[in-house]
Structure 1
Amino acid sequence: MFSRFKHRSYELERLDTGDYTPEEYARWHVEMKYIHRAFGEMRAIRRSLMRDIRSGGGERVSVLDVGAGSGELLRAVHKWLRSRPSYLVGAELNAKAARAIYRGSQRGEIDALQCNALHLPFDDGAFDYVICSLFLHHLTDNDAVKLLREMSRVAAKRIFIIDLHRSPIAYYFYRATSRLTLQQFTREDGALSILRSFKPTELRQLAENAGLTDIGVKRSAAYRLVLSGK
């Protein structure tokens, strides 16, 4: 029963194959905002990125979010920074998602760019921090290593990756609770996301393979893992 959790699944999610209707995709965006707030991403980013930012003084800070979705995390970062000068950018391969980030930026506080995460169109050290949340598990191990290298190249200070902890408890808890609130598309992709995700030792190995230094892997609430490095 638990053998399926021993290794990562590489079965593609519908989000990756494009097998969804416009209505399903629109509802998925709404549901992902709820998931970010209720299932751990906000807590994880506050206890990783924001803690590091606050330890560095009050100077201008720049953050790139790779695979930013609708830009929910960047909007939270902007709110937490308050009046502190910042430059926040969401990078997305999906054109609809990139437009959603821009539309959700009420005063232009967040920029959006459609691009390939494995070939980021930025100079070395262009941003203080580079983050990604619930994106790494969509990649193969080889592409995950490429992404970590790109993030490290573009980050002058540190990178933070938030992703799921592959475990039977996380999987069956999600299956039991998601049926009460989420559409079938989100439920099925979410369950597969857990099977595609990582154990702490696997995340660390990917970071080492990417050549990162000062690597840290911490457990966070709601079966999340936070990988950090330089």
Structure 2
Amino acid sequence: MAESDKVFAGAIPETYDTHMVPLIFESYAEDMAQRVSALAPRDILETAAGSGAVTRALAPLLCADARYVVTDLNQPMLDRAATRQGADGRIEWRQADALALPFDDDAFDVVLCQFGAMFFPDRVAGYREARRVLRPGGRFVFSVWDRIEQNALAFEVAEALAALFPVDPPRFIVRTPHGYYDAGVIRADLERAGFSDIGIERRADVIPPAALSDSLGIPNSADL
């Protein structure tokens, strides 16, 4: 992964949160929140939290005495997440590298990560860290995108960019967000990190027209 692929600063956090979250991340965040809350965890760690889409969906579903540690490699993204969340004494915001977590062994019931593992420069190391901080019987819940050809919006964007820049097309979308999709590779990486009870599920979702129009600033229309 290119070093620049890990940098989310400047205007990116606000732009990402205002446009990308409602467009493509919000429904997945709600699904992730339901899955994690069903485990009834008390101590939760979120890595690669970005601008807090999952955090906003999950926090209201947790018990009153929960401890929810929300982390991201990029402090500006974490700052954006914190400003969107509102006061909540159960949440601790902390800049942290998912490959070198600053937490004790056996500290959490659940580690979760939505669409972050693709950015890990060493995914096995990141998974090992998640396993290290999990208590016996704890769960690591994470999501990644499928191949870009299975995602109509991302595929069309990539094709449009390739047409605009035929000599040197921007390949970030293909290279990173949609570059880690092979279930066999993912399972092997998890096994190398020490996980044994592994479940992989594919979920298909469709962007609602309202989300698309709101994100792009288009008035709602029955013809959209």
Q: TM-score, normalised by structure 2?
A: 0.74
* Cα drift, residue 106 of structure 1: 1.4
CA distances 1:131-188 after superposition (whole Å, capped 9, x unpaired) = 1111111124xx1000001001111111111111125222x44233799xxxxxxx97
Q: Which amino acid aligns with 2:125?
A: K
User: Which of the residues 15, 24, 30 maps onto 1:27?
Assistant: 15
- Name which of 51, 59, 78 aligns with 1:70: 51
Where do 5+ consecutive residues of structure 1 fail to align?
1-9, 54-59, 180-186, 224-230
Q: 1:169 aligns with which of 145, 150, 154?
A: 150
Contact 1:138 1:196 (8 Å CA) reproduced: no
Structure 1 residue 50, shift from structure 2 partner: 2.5
**Aligned partner of 1:37 among 26, 34, 55:** 26
Aligned to 1:126: 107
Structure 2 CA distance for aligned equivalents of residues 202 and 114 of structure 1: 28
Question: C-alpha distance in 1, partners of 2:13/2:172?
Answer: 12
Alpha-carbon offset, residue 191 of structure 1: 4.5
AA of the residue aligned to 2:112 = I
Deviation at 1:76, TM superposition (A): 1.0
Structure 1 residue 78 displacement after superposition: 1.1
After superposing the two structures, state which structure 1 stretch, 208-217 or 105-114, moved more. Answer: 105-114
Distance 1:74 1:88 in 2: 9
Q: Structure 2: any 5+ residue segments left out of the alignment?
A: 160-169, 207-224
Residue from 28, 39, 44 that aligns with 1:52? 39
Aligned residue pairs: how many? 194
Verify: 1:103 aligned to 2:83, yes or no.
yes
Q: Note if contact 1:70-1:98 (Cα within 8 Å) is conserved in structure 2.
A: yes
- Larger gyration radius, structure 1 or structure 2: 2
Q: Could you tell which deviates more after superposition, 188-197 or 150-159?
A: 188-197
- 1:199 lines up with 2:182 in the alignment: yes
Q: Matched residue of 1:128: which SS?
A: strand
Per-residue CA shift, 1:105-134, capped at 9, x if unaligned? 312342110122111111111111111111
TM-score normalised to the size of structure 1? 0.72
8 Å Cα contact 1:65-1:90 kept in structure 2 = yes
- Structure with greater strand percent: 1
For 2:172 and 2:37, locate their aligned partners in 1 and report how far apart those are by CA, in whole Å.
Answer: 29
Deviations 1:174-205 (A, max 9, x none): 233799xxxxxxx9744443432222111111
Residue identity matched to 2:11: E
Contact 2:148 2:155 (8 Å CA) reproduced: no
Give, in angstroms, the shift of residue 77 of structure 1.
Answer: 0.9
Deviation at 1:87, TM superposition (A): 1.0
Question: Residues of 2 paired with 1:161 and 1:63: CA distance?
Answer: 13
Separation in structure 2 between the aligned mates of residue 199 and residue 115 of structure 1, nearest angstrom: 27
Greater relative contact order structure (CA < 8 Å, 6+ sep)? 1
- Distance, in Å, in 2 between the alignment partners of 1:70 and 1:107 is 16
Structural RMSD (CA): 3.0
Structure 1 SS opposite 2:21: helix
Q: Taking every aligned residue pair, what percent have the same amino acid on both sides?
A: 23
- Aligned partners of 1:21 and 1:90: how far apart in 2? 18
